[in-house]
């Protein structure tokens, strides 16, 4: 198992060079990840599939071609939705987890899901801690250290130990007292939300401004909806569909419908605002963006959209985040007085 | 002895320095071209303030603009605020009823929507600088005229030419094409103004509810042709505040006043900073594949600040 090196400018440069220019940003980062991993010795690539009306469904097909054209001889395993065939799904999982029987497969899958959940919980805890921390850099150091160590260790038990240790460190961070942070929900395209390199580390940047950040989608939430609770879906995600219904009653591909539902979800939770992040020319999110204008107006709820691609300048990004946080604090002040 | 608050807006094209008094009245303003040398220009600006108001008290300093962090490192700012908030603060100080702020600067343009005295929505140009000051500067140069005459010439046109203003590069080639066809210079200039306004309204102001009173700020507001084009397109009067060119700096100064009043002290290093020697030392970090470009700022040989790294390894 070779985890791709942490996404960097180099990853994106490699990816952009070998990808169609008008392709969405995650595609380019993926290609970069593949090539960097292959150079480190990977011979098999695992990617999830999709059959929704979004280009993600084409990723595996085009990417396999690109890798072949470049002369890389690798095995590409696509884990398609269970809908596409239960047999393939199981046989792919067996191949990945190197298990032969169903009970074994069940056991290793449970472990994998547990690890993903623990890692997500830790990231979320760091976001909460950063908002309240007296010294925000201390939280950054703890998390940097965790990320650095996590690729050096082996096995599930070591990883669990590391996560627990990091959790404890976070619990010991000194927090501000009587502090009521601005709360912002991050919504939009799933990959853009969860990969800090792609979203220019939006969680950290907002946390640094003392903002409490929550993400509408995480690997855990995705798995709970698409795998663990298959075919019914998780309660949270189904609720988002319900919330989105007055605006949109059919899926529009990707996570367009979830984005709308999430915005309303955060409004109901009493958040101050949401930020939608999408990769340039992501179709489902563009549709959602136009509808979000009405959501914002109807609910009197601030929503800002940020578009990222390989040309995104960091300075403008920071200016917008800061201005948005100013806007939210002023709004809150006014509500308190008026 | 007088008490002042200083606002500094370090933008891509200009560096603006203002002093305001306790009643937010503008006492002094200086508009300097940044010319890619923000450090030197900043020192120069501070020196001028020193020569003029040497014995005055400067009680607080606010910085804004894309160079706000750099300026703060040098000067010691009480407030480091983004341009959007600063422009809104200054606009509301000028007219508390303001509903819309159009701001066009050297390399970016913004729209700020205000309701009941608070910012409710805003937008900034994302990928392209078509329609901003530096683009107009360049076209004025190409047409062989002073940028200060640009707007007045545009007003003389009776038959504006239609120019494709969506992209700065294409606008330029379309303009050259119209020149070659033999159109009048004033018609072309007017056509450019119209194209820029159209581009602004369909890109930045898209989907925003532009309501009156509308304030037009930033260096480009000096251009009468652009102002008139806005008024025709919006069918509303567009107001230009007296100090339209330094509104960002005024906003920063006002914010620093509030901050200092609350905190009770200032972080300002004093006006004598202009005598010190500042050097910038760029470092390419090869520690990982991000290859961050780190900037190190030295004050009289001592390291003052380092920034630009993703991992925090170089931070002091």
**B14 located within any domain:** yes
User: Token pair of A301, please?
Assistant: 């709820």
Conformation bin of residue A79: beta by default, left when phi > 0, alpha when psi is -120 to 50: beta
Q: Is the domain of B127 the same as that of B204?
A: yes
Query: How close A11 comes to chain B (CA, Å)?
Result: 8
Phi and psi of A8, rounded to 5°? -145, 180
- For B124, the closest of A5, A201, A316 (CB atoms) is A316
Q: Does B124 touch chain A (CB under 8 A)?
A: yes
Domain of B228: which CATH number?
3.30.420.40
**B313 located within any domain:** no
Q: Does A39 touch chain B (CB under 8 A)?
A: no
Q: Is the domain of B137 the same as that of B228?
A: yes
User: B207: nearest CA in chain A?
Assistant: A293
pLDDT of residue A247: 94
Q: Is the domain of B119 the same as that of B227?
A: yes
pLDDT of residue B54: 78
Query: How close A290 comes to chain B (CA, Å)?
Result: 9
Residues in A touching B85 (Cβ below 8 Å): 322-323, 326
Interface probe for B, chosen from A316, A323, A328, A337 (most Cβ of B below 10 Å), is A323
Q: How many CB atoms lie under 10 A from the CB of residue A167?
A: 17
**Mean pLDDT split into 10-residue runs, chain B, 316 residues:** 88 90 93 85 90 84 92 92 95 95 88 92 76 82 87 91 80 87 91 89 86 93 93 95 95 95 89 82 81 83 81 72
Contact A186, A271 (CB under 8 A): no
Residues in B touching A5 (Cβ below 8 Å): 289
pLDDT of residue B167: 74
Q: Is the domain of B30 the same as that of B55?
A: yes
Contact B250, B18 (CB under 8 A): yes
Is residue B53 classed as helix, strand or coil in its secondary structure?
Answer: helix
Chains A & B: contacts with CB separation below 8 Å:
63
Contact B133, B105 (CB under 8 A): yes
Q: Domain span at residue B221?
A: 96-240
**B216 located within any domain:** yes
B247 vs B29: CA distance, rounded Å? 10
* Mean pLDDT to the nearest integer, A197-214: 93
User: B86: nearest CA in chain A?
Assistant: A323
Number of domains in chain B: 3
- For A319, the closest of B83, B116, B315 (CB atoms) is B83
Query: Residue B119: which H helix or E strand, with range?
Result: strand B118-124
List CB contacts of B155: < 8 A, sequence separation 6 or more: B190, B224, B225, B228
Interface probe for B, chosen from A296, A319, A324, A332 (most Cβ of B below 10 Å), is A319
Question: Tokens 């009521």 sit at which residue?
Answer: A180
Query: A90-129: per-residue pLDDT in tens?
Result: 888 787 777 778 888 888 888 888 999 999 999 999 999 9
Q: Is the domain of B157 the same as that of B198?
A: yes
pLDDT of residue A314: 80
Q: Strands (DSSP E) along A154-270, which ranges?
A: 182-188, 211-215
HSE of B217 in the Cβ direction (CA atoms, 13 Å)? Answer: 31
Q: Is the domain of B124 the same as that of B200?
A: yes
Instruction: Inspect the interface and report whether the beta carbons of B290 and A8 lie closer than 8 Å.
Output: yes
Instruction: Inspect the interface and report whether the beta carbons of A323 and B119 lie closer than 8 Å.
Output: yes
Domain ranges of chain A: 9-98, 99-177, 180-337
**B258 located within any domain:** yes
pLDDT of residue A335: 79
Find the radius of gyration of the CA atoms of chain B.
21
The complex scores an ipTM of 0.84
Q: Is the domain of B16 the same as that of B149?
A: no
- For B82, the closest of A9, A322, A331 (CB atoms) is A322
**B315 located within any domain:** no
Which residues sit opposite A175 in a β-bridge? A133
pLDDT higher at A130 or A229: A130
Q: Is the domain of B205 the same as that of B135?
A: yes
pLDDT of residue B217: 95
Query: A231-261: per-residue pLDDT in tens?
Result: 788 888 899 999 999 999 888 888 899 999 9
Q: Is the domain of B182 the same as that of B49?
A: no
Q: Does B286 touch chain A (CB under 8 A)?
A: no
Q: Is the domain of B51 the same as that of B160?
A: no
A119 vs A121: CA distance, rounded Å? 5
pLDDT of residue B308: 77
Query: A264-307: per-residue pLDDT in tens?
Result: 999 999 999 999 999 988 889 999 999 999 999 999 999 999 98
| Mean model confidence pLDDT for chain A | 89
pLDDT higher at A25 or A184: A184
Q: At the topology level of CATH, where does A180-337 sit?
A: Rossmann fold (3.40.50)
**B213 located within any domain:** yes
Phi and psi of A208, rounded to 5°? -60, -30
Q: Is the domain of B173 the same as that of B69?
A: no
User: Token pair of A36, please?
Assistant: 């960097």
Query: How close A218 comes to chain B (CA, Å)?
Result: 23
Q: Is the domain of B118 the same as that of B212?
A: yes
Query: Residue B279: which H helix or E strand, with range?
Result: strand B278-284
pLDDT of residue B246: 94
Find the radius of gyration of the CA atoms of chain A.
20
User: Token pair of B292, please?
Assistant: 């961050």
List CB contacts of A255: < 8 A, sequence separation 6 or more: A188, A189, A190, A217, A284, A285
A331 vs A80: CA distance, rounded Å? 45
> Which own/partner pairs from A77-80 qualify as long-range (CB within 8 Å, at least 24 positions apart)?
A77/A44, A77/A45, A77/A46, A77/A47, A78/A47, A78/A48, A78/A49, A79/A46, A79/A47, A79/A48, A79/A49, A80/A48, A80/A49, A80/A50, A80/A51
By C-alpha distance, which of A199, A313, A303, A320 is closest to B123? A320
Name the percent of chain A lying above pLDDT 70: 98
Instruction: Inspect the interface and report whether the beta carbons of B85 and A323 lie closer than 8 Å.
Output: yes
HSE of B18 in the Cβ direction (CA atoms, 13 Å)? Answer: 29
pLDDT of residue B272: 82
User: A196: nearest CA in chain B?
Assistant: B310
pLDDT of residue A338: 55
Q: Strands (DSSP E) along chain A, which ranges?
A: 44-48, 75-79, 182-188, 211-215, 273-279, 303-308
By C-alpha distance, which of B181, B26, B183, B185 is closest to B90? B26
Contact B238, B213 (CB under 8 A): no
Residues in A touching B311 (Cβ below 8 Å): 144
Instruction: Inspect the interface and report whether the beta carbons of B118 and A330 lie closer than 8 Å.
Output: yes
């Amino acid at each position: 198992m070779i985890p791709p090196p942490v996404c960097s400018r180099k990853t994106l440069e490699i990816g952009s060079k070998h990808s169609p220019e008008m392709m969405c940003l995650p595609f380019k980062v993926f290609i970069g990840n593949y090539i960097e991993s292959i150079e480190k010795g990977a011979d098999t690539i695992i990617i999830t599939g999709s059959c929704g009306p979004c280009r993600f469904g084409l990723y595996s097909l085009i990417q396999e071609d690109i890798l072949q054209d470049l002369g890389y001889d690798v095995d590409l395993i696509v884990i398609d939705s269970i809908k596409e065939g239960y047999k393939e799904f199981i046989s792919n999982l067996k191949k990945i987890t190197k298990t032969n029987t169903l009970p074994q497969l069940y056991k290793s899958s449970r472990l994998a899901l547990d690890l993903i959940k623990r890692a997500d919980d830790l990231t979320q805890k760091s976001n909460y801690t950063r908002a309240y921390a007296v010294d925000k850099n201390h939280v950054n150091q703890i998390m940097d250290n965790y990320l650095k160590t996590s690729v050096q260790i082996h096995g599930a038990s070591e990883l669990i130990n590391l996560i627990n240790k990091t959790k404890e460190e976070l619990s010991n961070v000194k927090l501000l007292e009587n502090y009521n942070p601005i709360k912002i929900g991050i919504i939009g395209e799933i990959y853009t939300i969860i990969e800090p390199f792609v979203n220019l580390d939006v969680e950290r940047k907002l946390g640094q401004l003392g903002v409490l950040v929550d993400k509408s989608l995480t690997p855990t939430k995705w798995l709970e909806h698409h795998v663990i609770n298959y075919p019914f879906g998780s309660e949270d995600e189904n609720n988002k569909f319900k919330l989105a219904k007055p605006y949109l009653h059919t899926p529009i591909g990707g996570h367009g419908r979830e984005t709308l539902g999430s915005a309303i979800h955060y409004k109901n939770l009493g958040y101050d605002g949401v930020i939608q992040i999408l990769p340039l020319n992501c179709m489902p999110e563009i549709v959602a963006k136009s509808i979000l204008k009405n959501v914002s107006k109807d609910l009197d709820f601030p929503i800002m959209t940020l578009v990222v691609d390989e040309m995104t300048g960091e300075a403008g990004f920071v200016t917008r985040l800061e201005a948005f946080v100013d806007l939210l604090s002023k709004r809150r002040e006014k509500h308190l007085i008026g | 002895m007088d008490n002042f608050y200083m606002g500094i807006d370090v933008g891509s094209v200009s560096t603006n320095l203002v002093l305001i008094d306790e009643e937010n009245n503008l006492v002094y303003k200086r508009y300097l071209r940044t010319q890619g040398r923000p450090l030197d220009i900043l020192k120069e600006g501070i020196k001028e303030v020193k020569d003029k108001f040497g014995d005055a008290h400067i009680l607080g300093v606010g910085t804004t603009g894309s160079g706000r962090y750099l300026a703060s490192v040098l000067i010691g700012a009480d407030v480091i605020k983004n341009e959007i908030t600063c422009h809104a603060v200054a606009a509301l100080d000028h007219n508390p009823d303001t509903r819309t702020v159009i701001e066009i600067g050297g390399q970016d343009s913004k729209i700020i929507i205000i309701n009941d005295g608070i910012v409710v929505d805003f937008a900034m140009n994302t990928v392209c600088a078509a329609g901003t000051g530096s683009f107009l500067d360049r076209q004025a140069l190409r047409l062989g005229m002073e940028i200060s005459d640009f707007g007045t010439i545009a007003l003389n046109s009776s038959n504006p030419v239609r120019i494709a203003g969506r992209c700065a590069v294409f606008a330029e080639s379309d303009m050259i094409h119209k020149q070659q066809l033999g159109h009048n210079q004033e018609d072309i200039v007017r056509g450019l103004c119209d194209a820029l306004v159209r581009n602004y309204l369909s890109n930045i102001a898209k989907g925003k509810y532009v309501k009156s009173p509308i304030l037009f700020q930033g260096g480009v507001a000096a251009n009468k042709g652009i102002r008139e084009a806005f008024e025709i397109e919006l069918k509303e009067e567009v107001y230009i505040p007296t100090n339209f060119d330094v509104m960002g700096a005024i906003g920063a100064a006002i914010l620093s006043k509030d901050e200092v009043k609350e905190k009770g002290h200032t972080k300002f290093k004093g006006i004598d900073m202009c005598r010190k020697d500042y050097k910038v030392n760029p470092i390419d970090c090869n520690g990982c594949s991000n290859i961050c470009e780190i900037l190190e700022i030295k004050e009289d040989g001592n390291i003052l600040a380092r920034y630009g790294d993703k991992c925090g390894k170089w931070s002091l």
